[in-house]
């Protein structure tokens, strides 16, 4: 389920027989009307794919991602299992897009999707949720450090050169992670934490994995727990927050937003 599994198309034939003929045993014959429903079924499948899949990469889109995440959290609650959410943002994608053109950017996104899916299990979900953002769902997590290892492997894989038809390209990836139920039990909160951790990875230098929680320090500063560095190294301040009731508001300086190329 890392992407959208391919389906074999089979002819679907529907038949109907008048019920009065079924009861009339004296009837010497009957006419069976058959209708080939294959075309209608294929049309329904195309409409479903358009509504739930990213047209460029073939991966689940944002809508299908949220649906799968909700379903995985319900299943995890029943089975007392953990679920990991990874939020992936490409570093340097805009530069490749500007240098080699939009066709190269599209080819790069398709190549990134293939590399992500190659490392995932069939039970995992890899979705494209934005321009150069991907989101992953890893159900049935039993070893959090193993999942961090997988995320680190993804970072290493995406930092390898891409041989595109338009020319060679190099990018990196920043990945944020959060777990159900250790960090949150609601899908929206879980994704928010993974997203914040991803921005923490960017502010800490990019090309790395950061895991929620980001810790609140004096002065309402947020620090990233960077699992790709030495475990006891002091984390760097990467974000600021204000508390308004239970809602967290995150502030980003305008110059940082303008310099962030995604």
Choice between 56 and 23, residue whose per-residue pLDDT is larger: 56
- List the chain domain ranges: 57-213
Higher model confidence: residue 142 or residue 49?
A: 142
Query: What pLDDT, on the 0 to 100 scale, is given for residue 217?
Result: 36
**126-151 b/e with 16+ CB inside 10 Å = b?**
bbbbeebbbbbbbbebeeeeebbebb
Q: Which of 54, 91, 124, 132 is catalytic?
A: 132
The tens digit of pLDDT for each residue in 186-197 reads 999 999 999 999
Report the SS3 class of residue 100.
Answer: helix
More confident position, 123 or 43: 123
The pLDDT value recorded for residue 39 is 76
Mean pLDDT for 16-40 is 63
pLDDT band at 214 (very low <50, low <70, confident <90, very high): low
132 is catalytic: yes
pLDDT value of residue 51: 65
96 φ, ψ (degrees, to nearest 5): -65, -45
How many angstroms separate the CA atoms of 65 and 68, rounded? Answer: 5
| pLDDT average, residue stretch 210-226 | 56
Minimum mean pLDDT among 23-27, 37-41, 152-156, 223-227: which range?
223-227
Percent of the chain with pLDDT over 90: 61
Query: Between 180 and 262, where is the model more confident?
Result: 180
Q: Looking at the whole model, is its pTM more than 0.85?
A: no
The CATH superfamily of 57-213 is Reverse transcriptase/Diguanylate cyclase domain (3.30.70.270)
How much is the pLDDT for 62? 94
pLDDT tens string 78-112: 999 999 999 999 999 999 999 999 999 999 999 99
Residue 133 clears pLDDT 90, i.e. is over it: yes
Determine the pLDDT at residue 2: 73
Most confident listed range (9-18, 49-58, 120-129) = 120-129
Sheet holding 133-141, edge to edge: 125-128, 133-141, 82-91, 172-180, 208-217, 221-226, 237-244, 247-251
């Amino acid at each position: 389920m890392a992407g959208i599994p391919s389906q074999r198309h089979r002819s679907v034939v529907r038949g109907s027989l008048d019920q009065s003929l079924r009861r009339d045993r004296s009837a010497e014959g009957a006419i069976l009307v058959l209708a080939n429903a294959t075309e209608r079924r294929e049309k329904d499948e195309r409409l479903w794919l358009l509504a739930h899949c990213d047209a460029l990469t073939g991966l689940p889109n944002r809508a299908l991602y949220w649906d799968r995440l909700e379903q995985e959290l319900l299943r995890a609650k029943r089975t007392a299992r953990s679920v990991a959410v990874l939020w992936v943002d490409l570093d340097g994608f805009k530069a490749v897009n500007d240098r080699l053109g939009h066709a190269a950017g599209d080819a790069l996104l398709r190549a990134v999707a293939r590399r992500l899916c190659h490392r995932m299990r069939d039970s995992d979900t890899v979705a494209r949720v934005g321009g150069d953002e991907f989101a992953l769902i890893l159900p049935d997590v039993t070893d959090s450090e193993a999942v961090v290892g997988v995320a680190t492997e993804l970072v290493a894989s995406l930092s390898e050169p891409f041989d595109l038809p338009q020319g060679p390209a190099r990018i990196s990836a920043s990945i944020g992670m959060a777990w159900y139920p250790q960090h949150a039990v609601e899908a929206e909160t879980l994704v928010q934490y993974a997203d914040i951790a991803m921005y923490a990875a960017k502010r800490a230098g990019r090309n790395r994995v950061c895991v929620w929680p980001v810790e609140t320090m004096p002065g309402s500063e947020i620090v990233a727990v960077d699992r790709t560095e030495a475990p006891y190294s002091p984390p760097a301040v990467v974000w600021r927050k204000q508390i308004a009731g239970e809602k967290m508001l995150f502030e980003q300086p305008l110059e940082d937003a303008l310099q962030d190329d995604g």
